[in-house]
């Protein structure tokens, strides 16, 4: 009988939870943040790497010249004459909170529905990428949807309608290579964020006497200790959120961000370097994690029973001082209590040549089901166009707009000296290779499976077991090198270089 129960359990959770990490605490921004960086072999817009940095300081208005210059991109994006009246558009979304609980999505969409005389139906999925990937083994997966990260770039055309060519769309939008294959774009990121920073409570930090934002890992740990000394027993200086699993992936985001190198993945691949080299970015950030986690009095006492939901009001109220998170978390922390003004976002405590770096990354991309009716597809394009350009979604979520030159969210003031960059696309022939190695070796930089190296490292850190930490580093490097050297695409590409 027990077997049956367990089978039912397996059924009930297998695909549903498998991507989700820990139970209720599915992370909204993470899967997509990681998708970006993990697949940033296919990343974005080389030319305009720093263009966001200007805007970040000068929060200007939406009405800027770039917007007008690229208006033609919008005009040619869809053909309104093909859209018939009375259509129904099914949209799949991961934001169950906005479509089930608050119904805000439906409210925002009224404007669009009126304009095109159509009806938009939302379906929210708590375990989005898992459930939708399973649905995609049929033709029946909504009309407009967030493209799950499980879909390989080369398979995009089997599932999604082409939205335009890269060169054209790239004029107006960031991250156009995220869901691109053969210069055809299949998805437009519905929002972006800044990754590789830390959320912190400004009041606590300044009351503890830390006035300057730390620029090195040592300063950072020292600052945490200072907070501990000041508020012993009242404030947790650093909250690990270890039991969510996904929170550790934020550290990988930080690795990419602090490199300041939009080509970091390609560089590591082509130079045949190990993944974790002492003194280099991926190693440095993991070591920072180890150094924080091993100090049992600067993070929460029992990381296994941590509580992501509980941590939000706590950082808002100043009971938690710091958490590593993408900027997507800022709005959630601000909304979680009465002190939104206390929540700040700071760049990672690493300096390279006197400069701090941050990466702007994309969230899920919106794509159109290739099996939908023609008129519905056109309506879908209109919807995507409306969503990224006109809907209040991005500003409500305090996200970074995919539209070049749009206003940046206001919480980035600490980044005024920080240089932003967007990951560069992988050269042809190396597209998808990083992801393939990452996956086939089962290292899973962004995954949170039970045997994941980050989780084992953290567990070693909690026991202050540096030998195990080193052993895991070596094991990962070995697996990485073996898998890389067995990768056919990689070898083919390297052959062309020499």
Residues 155 to 184 in contact with another protein, rule: CB under 8 A: 155, 158-159
Range 192-211, binding another protein (CB under 8 A): none
Range 95-124, binding another protein (CB under 8 A): 95-97, 100-101, 123-124
Q: Which is nearer to another protein, 16 or 370 (CB)?
A: 16
Is residue 243 at the binding interface for another protein, with CB under 8 A as the rule?
Answer: yes
Q: Which of 133, 230, 468, 477 binds another protein (CB under 8 A)?
A: 133
Minimum Å distance from CB 314 to another protein? 4
Q: Which of 134, 230, 391, 477 binds another protein (CB under 8 A)?
A: 134
- What's the rounded Cα separation, in Å, for the pair 132 and 474? 36
- What's the rounded Cα separation, in Å, for the pair 205 and 398? 23
Range 333-362, binding another protein (CB under 8 A): 335
Minimum Å distance from CB 310 to another protein? 5
Is residue 467 at the binding interface for another protein, with CB under 8 A as the rule?
Answer: no
Q: Which of 55, 56, 127, 334 binds another protein (CB under 8 A)?
A: 127
Q: Which of 140, 183, 216, 416 binds another protein (CB under 8 A)?
A: 140
Range 303-322, binding another protein (CB under 8 A): 303-305, 307, 309-311, 313-314, 319-320
Minimum Å distance from CB 86 to another protein? 19
- Among candidate residues 160, 89, 151, 90, the one with its CA nearest the CA of residue 124: 90
Minimum Å distance from CB 317 to another protein? 9
Task: Please report the sign of the dihedral spanned by the C-alpha atoms of residue 257, residue 261, residue 265, residue 268.
Answer: negative
Minimum Å distance from CB 384 to another protein? 21
Is residue 130 at the binding interface for another protein, with CB under 8 A as the rule?
Answer: yes
**Helices 488-497 & 433-440, crossing angle to 10 degrees?**
140
Q: Which is nearer to another protein, 331 or 351 (CB)?
A: 331
Is residue 2 at the binding interface for another protein, with CB under 8 A as the rule?
Answer: yes
Minimum Å distance from CB 444 to another protein? 7
Minimum Å distance from CB 95 to another protein? 7
Q: Which tokens go with 343?
A: 């929540």
Range 390-449, binding another protein (CB under 8 A): 439-440, 442, 444, 447-449
List of long-range contacts for 93-101, beta carbons under 8 Å, 24+ apart? 93/122, 93/123, 93/124, 93/125, 93/128, 93/145, 93/146, 94/28, 94/124, 94/125, 94/128, 94/129, 94/146, 94/364, 95/28, 95/124, 96/124, 96/125, 96/126, 97/124, 98/124, 99/123, 99/124, 100/124
Contact 76, 384 (CB under 8 A): no
Range 279-308, binding another protein (CB under 8 A): 300-305, 307
Minimum Å distance from CB 140 to another protein? 5
Instruction: Measure CA 458 to chain center.
Output: 21
Task: Please report the sign of the dihedral spanned by the C-alpha atoms of residue 403, residue 404, residue 406, residue 407.
Answer: positive
Range 16-35, binding another protein (CB under 8 A): 16-19, 21-28
Minimum Å distance from CB 447 to another protein? 5
Stretch of residues binding another protein (CB under 8 A), selected from 132-140, 215-223, 278-286, 403-411: 132-140
Contact 23, 396 (CB under 8 A): no
Q: Which is nearer to another protein, 451 or 495 (CB)?
A: 451
Q: From edge to edge, which strands make up the β-sheet containing 164-165?
A: 164-165, 184-185, 180-181
Task: Please report the sign of the dihedral spanned by the C-alpha atoms of residue 172, residue 173, residue 179, residue 182.
Answer: positive
Minimum Å distance from CB 302 to another protein? 4
Is residue 11 at the binding interface for another protein, with CB under 8 A as the rule?
Answer: yes
**Number of amino acids touching another protein (CB under 8 A):** 89
Task: Please report the sign of the dihedral spanned by the C-alpha atoms of residue 248, residue 156, residue 405, residue 109.
Answer: negative
Give DSSP secondary structure letters for 212-280: SPP-SHHHHHHHHHHHHHHTTTT-EEE---GGGSHHHHHHHHHHHHHHT-TTHHHHHHHTT--SS-TTS
Q: Which of 12, 71, 183, 216 binds another protein (CB under 8 A)?
A: 12
Q: Which is nearer to another protein, 151 or 258 (CB)?
A: 151
Q: Which of 152, 202, 371, 470 binds another protein (CB under 8 A)?
A: 152
Q: From edge to edge, which strands make up the β-sheet containing 357-362?
A: 192-195, 357-362, 419-421
């Amino acid at each position: 009988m027990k077997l049956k129960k367990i089978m039912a359990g397996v059924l009930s959770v297998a695909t549903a939870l498998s991507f989700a990490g820990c139970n209720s605490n599915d992370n909204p921004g993470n899967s997509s943040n990681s998708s970006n960086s993990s697949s940033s072999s296919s990343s974005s817009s080389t030319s305009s790497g720093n263009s966001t940095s200007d805007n970040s300081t000068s929060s200007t208005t939406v009405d800027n010249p770039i917007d007008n210059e690229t208006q033609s991109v919008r005009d040619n994006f869809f053909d309104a004459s093909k859209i018939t009246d009375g259509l129904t558009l099914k949209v799949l979304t991961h934001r169950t909170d906005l479509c089930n609980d608050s119904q805000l999505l439906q409210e925002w969409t009224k404007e669009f529905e009126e304009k095109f005389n159509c009806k938009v139906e939302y379906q929210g999925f708590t375990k989005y990428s898992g459930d939708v990937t399973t649905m995609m083994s049929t033709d029946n997966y909504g009309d407009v949807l967030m493209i799950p990260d499980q879909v390989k770039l080369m398979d995009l055309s089997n599932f999604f309608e082409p939205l335009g060519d890269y060169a054209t769309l790239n004029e107006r939008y960031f991250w156009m290579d995220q869901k691109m294959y053969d210069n055809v774009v299949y998805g437009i990121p519905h929002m972006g964020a800044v990754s590789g920073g830390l959320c912190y409570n400004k009041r606590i930090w300044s009351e503890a006497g830390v006035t300057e934002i730390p620029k090195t890992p040592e300063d950072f740990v020292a600052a945490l200790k200072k907070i501990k000394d000041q508020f012993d027993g009242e404030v947790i200086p650093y909250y690990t959120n270890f039991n969510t699993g996904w929170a550790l992936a934020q550290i990988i985001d930080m690795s990419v961000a602090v490199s300041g190198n939009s080509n970091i993945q390609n560089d590591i691949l082509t130079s045949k370097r190990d993944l974790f080299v002492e003194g280099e970015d991926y190693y440095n950030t993991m070591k920072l994690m180890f150094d924080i986690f091993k100090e049992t009095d600067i993070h929460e006492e029992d990381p296994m029973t941590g509580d992501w939901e509980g941590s939000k009001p706590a950082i808002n109220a100043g009971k938690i001082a710091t958490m590593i998170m993408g900027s997507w978390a800022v709005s959630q922390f601000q909304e979680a209590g009465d002190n939104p003004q206390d929540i700040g976002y700071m760049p990672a405590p690493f300096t390279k040549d006197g400069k701090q770096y941050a990466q702007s990354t994309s969230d899920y991309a919106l794509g159109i089901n290739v099996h939908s009716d023609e008129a519905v597809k056109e309506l879908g394009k209109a919807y995507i166009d409306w969503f990224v350009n006109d809907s209040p979604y991005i500003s409500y979520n305090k996200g970074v707009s995919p539209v070049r030159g749009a206003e940046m969210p206001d919480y980035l003031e600490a980044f005024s000296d920080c240089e932003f960059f967007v990951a560069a696309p992988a050269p042809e022939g190396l597209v998808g290779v990083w992801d393939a190695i990452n996956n086939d070796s089962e290292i899973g930089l962004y995954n949170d499976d039970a045997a994941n190296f980050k989780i084992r490292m953290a567990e070693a850190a909690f026991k202050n077991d540096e030998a195990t930490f080193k052993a895991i580093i070596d094991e990962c490097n070995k697996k990485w090198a073996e898998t890389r050297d067995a990768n056919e695409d990689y070898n083919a590409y390297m052959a062309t270089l020499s």
